[in-house]
Amino acid sequence: MLSLNNVEVVYSDVVLSVRGVSLAVGRGQTVALLGANGAGKSTTLKAISGLITGQYGKVTSGSIQLEGRSIVGMPPDAVVAAGVVHVMEGRRVLRYMTVDQNIIVGGHLLASKQDLARRKEWIYELIPRLKDLRQRVSGYLSGGEQQMLLVARALMARPAVMLIDEPSLGLSPQMVESIYDLLRRCSADGTAMLVVEQNAHAALELADFAYVMEGGRIVLEGTAAELARNDDVREFYLGVDAHGERKSFREVKHYRRRKRWLG
């Protein structure tokens, strides 16, 4: 469905942010991309969606293909039309519009008003909470409700692949569970997803396959079950030592992680 092969991204012709990243998302598959702040995860998503060009960045080498077709250099609206929708971090709702208006904006590529109406009703069946809030101005929603709205708006475009950046950021544990329950329903409906997360526990429970990024590179990959059992992932991302006991993240040394994984 979606594949990256040796992709490099440079900002302002100077800063090399992503260094030879290769990954793949299969049809209907959920893939997690884990890593610390600054690892290059969000930049990777922006390189796929074309949003990197708005931040003085560009893909300087490698390939990004959707079902065998290159999407490198395509403008973001063309990437959406091709079937890839990017849910950016920061809960970027259209704050002065209602929930219903936000959802309608997400369906601007649909062929007819009838298609839009049917898709919107499907969204409201999938997320009943938003149906209750359909006339609420979105800027007054809670953080979790705004995150649900962003996923709903993305689904209006009938994406083949959704790129989702930090869906649990700043949310309560109860709301995180609600968001991930929604993502599980999206996956069951056949939508492929590439999910960037620092909440490794939630991401590995959702995903089929996972990658770990450090310093702009992929340093570890495997099935979600394999990574959940990996001692390094358990120590550095799940906060569990080799004996299965919880530990403080302040005890973890970044140079040790790089030494183990990068050699």
Q: Is the pLDDT of residue 194 over 50?
A: yes
Among 138, 102, 135, 106, which residue's Cα sits nearest to residue 119?
Answer: 106
Banded model confidence at residue 16, pLDDT cuts 50, 70, 90: confident
212 forms beta bridges with: 34, 220
Do the beta carbons of residue 82 and residue 69 sit within 8 Å? yes
Q: Is the pLDDT of residue 261 over 90?
A: no
- For residues 87 and 89, what is the distance between their CA atoms, to the nearest angstrom? 7
Tens digits of residue pLDDT in 33-55: 998 888 899 999 999 999 998 88
Average pLDDT of the chain, as a whole number: 88
Q: Is the pLDDT of residue 241 over 80?
A: no
Tens digits of residue pLDDT in 82-105: 999 999 988 889 999 999 999 999
* Fold entry, domain 2-229: Rossmann fold (3.40.50)
Q: What is the mean pLDDT of residues 103-117?
A: 91
Cite the residue boundaries of each domain of the chain with CATH code 3.40.50.300. Answer: 2-229
- pLDDT computed for residue 249 by the predictor: 45
CA distances to 88, 92, 193 from 133, in Å: 22, 17, 26
Among 147, 182, 204, which residue's Cα sits nearest to residue 33?
Answer: 204
Tens digits of residue pLDDT in 139-185: 999 999 999 999 999 999 999 999 999 998 888 888 899 999 999 99
Among 142, 152, 146, 138, which residue's Cα sits nearest to residue 183?
Answer: 152
Q: Is the pLDDT of residue 253 over 50?
A: no
Is the pTM here over 0.85, yes or no? yes
